[in-house]
Chains A and B, each alone.
Chain A
Amino acid sequence: MNGSPDSAEAAELARVEQDVAVMARQVGLTVPGFCMPGVVANTQLLRSYTTLVDDLVLPDTCEPAFGYTP
């Protein structure tokens, strides 16, 4: 087994690609092969932002800022 950074990165990309395929099936989307590298890259970027947002502890009383006003 090769433990180089390159192989670790390749393994991570493969994992994200599998995740993308699963998540896409859940919303009825088939990600064509020619889109996959770009979708994987953007998913990785969004995950970094998700981590940032998730790591801020908010009070239970802080509601989502959805704009709907009946």
Chain B
Amino acid sequence: MSLSATTLAGNVRYGIRTAREVTEATLSDLATRDKAYGCVTRLLKDRALRMADTIDARIADGEPVGPLAGVPFGVKDLFDVEGLVTTAGSTVLNSNPPATADAEVVRRLVAAGAIPVATLNMDEFAYGFATENSHYGTTRNPRDPERLAGGSSGGSAAAVAAGMLPLTLGSDTNGSIRVPASLCGVWGLRPTQGELPLNGVYPFASSFDTIGPFTGTSKDLRLSFDVMAGRNPEDDLPDTAGLRIGILGGWFAQNLPPALADGLRNIQSFLNITRTTELPEAARARAAAFIITASEGGNLHLPRLRHRAAEYDPATRDRLMAGALLPAAPIIQAHRLRNWFRGHMHSTFSEFDVLLAPSTPAVAPRIDQPTIMVGGRPVSARANLGLFTQPLTLAGFPVLAAPLPPSETGDASPESRLPLGIQMIAAPGKEAVLFALAAQLENAGLLGYPVRGSAPQKEE
């Protein structure tokens, strides 16, 4: 049975299970079950077992081991792991030297007792919402393996949804944590931009690059974030009574699947939310995020694209090339629009503490038919799954991606049982408010989708 990171750490600390037992079971699980999903690119067996033995020895000696003692975790393939080449989901970087140290956030998790056990699949160079990778394969959605896991941190989201790992790390430039979290039915966090250090993380578009955790519970999400951010997970969370909560309308109220609209309505009713608000020019905000991302990603790869274009994943390569050709005027205009949009966001958050919005306009698309319905017509999933995440990227405010519970009122079709998620947005630095509200809604049964093996599975 899958256990949360919090429970696992407690079991290890109090001697109910050893870290070695947990690590061996996790490695065995990944080696066998992941064949169905394609989340894992490399298992870190020797290092993981060595670290587990160290933790067990420290516990035996009565030494402190940290709040994540013995918790196995995986990292998206763009985090440095000491001794491994950081591939960023590509083969283009294969001749780079191995990393000489862990990425800073990996180091912080390890210092808290967590054990890295695997690197995880992604869209090449994090440029996509699908985790269809021509080098390392397609990651399948554990809720329905005929469907995409979403991306670009698809391996990270799917490994948690499958109940194979209680904690993984991903990156979010335009929605790469929030989109797969929604499609796989797990928790994810895009923290305030700049809150977590990017040392040892391969870049994509530095104006927006952000990293964060995926977990199966909101409590684990908070614990892992607090450890990585150097905050105290024992601190009290803010009281949710009196929070000024609103629903985002306009752009964010269009193209909603019925189950998502129902889920938002249930939350609205439970919290007695009476106010909706709109962000100005959300479509242009999304466009600006698109342009800045394409230009920065294109510029980053231009030296290699001049000589080694054929080595790239074709989908990534063509996007990067087009981005590298953008003239200066729209890029600068997009950055001016970003400044303007940020002002409006701060103005909005002078009236609200939390805003709620959908994460994706559709459930996970089928791998053999990667389209979603937007505006009543089928469009490319790869280009449109970020419809609701990209405008918020522009502001850099913290966003907690939360799974709605399995729909009880939908029709009998398998699609009606697939996960969908919402975005909970707060002002910069206010992650604790999001964790408090998330916990309240999870306790009320209005958020949270059980990971496989954690409870009787409803999605089968």
Closest to A49 in B: B287
B294 within 8 A of A: yes
Our pick among A23, A29, A38, A56 for the contact of B306 (Cβ within 8 Å) is: A29
In the bound complex, what is the Cα–Cα distance between A55 and B319 (angstroms)? 23
Across the interface, name the chain A residue whose C-beta is closest to B326.
A46
Nearest chain B CB to A68 CB, angstrom units: 11
Stretch at the interface among B78-86, B245-253, B331-339, B356-364: B331-339
Q: In whole angstroms, what is the CA distance A39 to B281 when docked?
A: 28
Indicate whether A62 reaches chain B with its CB closer than 8 angstroms: yes
Are B291 and A53 closer than 8 Å at their CB atoms?
yes
Contact A50 B321 (CB under 8 A): no
Q: Known A38-B315, A58-B340, A65-B339; judge A32-B309 contact (CB<8 A).
A: yes
Q: Is B383 an interface residue (CB 8 A)?
A: yes
Among B284, B290, B302, B330, contact of A27 (Cβ-Cβ < 8 Å): B302
Task: Kindly name the residue among B314, B325, B340 whose own CB sees the greatest number of chain A CB atoms within 10 A.
Answer: B325
Contact of A35 among B294, B309, B327 (CB under 8 A): B309
Question: How many interface residues does B have (CB within 8 Å)?
Answer: 41
A10 to chain B, nearest CB (A): 19
Quote the shortest CB–CB distance from B115 to chain A (angstroms).
Answer: 34
Which residue in chain A gives the minimum CB-CB distance to B325?
A: A23
Contacts of B337 in A (CB 8 A): 53, 56, 58
Task: State whether B339 touches A62 (Cβ < 8 A).
Answer: yes
The verdict on A38 contacting B383 (CB below 8 Å), with A56-B337, A64-B339, A65-B342 known, is no
- Residue pair B284, A52 in contact (C-beta under 8 Å): yes
B305 proximal to A (CB < 8 A): yes
Please determine whether A65 and B335 come into contact, CB atoms closer than 8 angstroms.
yes
B residues within 8 A CB of A38? 314-315, 317-319, 321
B327 to chain A: closest residue by CB: A23
Are the C-beta atoms of A42 and B306 separated by less than 8 Å?
A: no
| Residues in A neighbouring B333, C-beta threshold 8 A | 53-54, 58
Q: Mark contacts of A21-33 with chain B using CB atoms, 8 A cut-off: 1 yes-contact digit, 0 otherwise.
A: 0011001111110
The contact of B283 among A27, A31, A35, A52, by CB within 8 Å, is A52
Q: Which chain A positions have C-beta within 8 A of B321?
A: 24, 29, 31, 35, 38-39, 42
Q: Which residues of A contact B (CB under 8 A)?
A: 20, 23-24, 27-32, 34-35, 38-39, 41-43, 45-46, 48-50, 52-56, 58, 62-67
Interface residues of B (CB under 8 A from A): 206-207, 281, 283-284, 286-288, 290-291, 294, 302, 305-306, 309-310, 314-315, 317-319, 321-327, 329-330, 332-340, 342, 383
A–B Cβ pairs within 8 angstroms, 22 of them: A23-B325, A23-B327, A27-B324, A28-B306, A29-B305, A31-B321, A38-B321, A39-B325, A42-B294, A43-B322, A46-B326, A50-B287, A53-B337, A55-B284, A56-B337, A58-B336, A58-B340, A62-B339, A62-B340, A63-B336, A64-B338, A65-B339
